[in-house]
Structure 1
Amino acid sequence: MASDAAYTESVDIGSRIATLGDLADIDGNGEIDALTDGLLTLRYLFGLQGDTLINGVVAGDATRTTAEEIEAHLETLMPAL
């Protein structure tokens, strides 16, 4: 954790995530999952795009399945993140 982090306690971080609600469901499968939505968000924040962004981490029951759909959704979150 960064020394200048605004949120340092797990309860504060959890509360911040909860305020995103369904928006944090990046692939649109109805669940917020660290191994899909979390990795998609992390990869996006590291600047990955296209197939590199989504390869191996989109849930099988996702409604947003292409890099274009997922990038568009993540872009709508940028002011919130």
Structure 2
Amino acid sequence: MASSTTVPLGFHYETKCVVLSYLGLLSQEKLQEQHLSSLQGVQLDVASQSLDQEVLVKVKTEIEEELKSLDKEISEGHYL
């Protein structure tokens, strides 16, 4: 019997794209390749941020590392 909390196929991947788009880490070309037209208008305006560039790079690096870790956990089936 199927559980009512079953996660739809592709949920994690789409969520990752939304997060990366919001943070400005996913290019428009990548979005178009993946046919996620609903996300094309979502961008982070880095120029308007008051963050120091060094801090911004550090934060992006930490986020990318965490996403890689989450991808690994998901692929190993820890969240199934």
Structure possessing the higher radius of gyration over alpha carbons: 2
Which structure is higher in helix share?
2
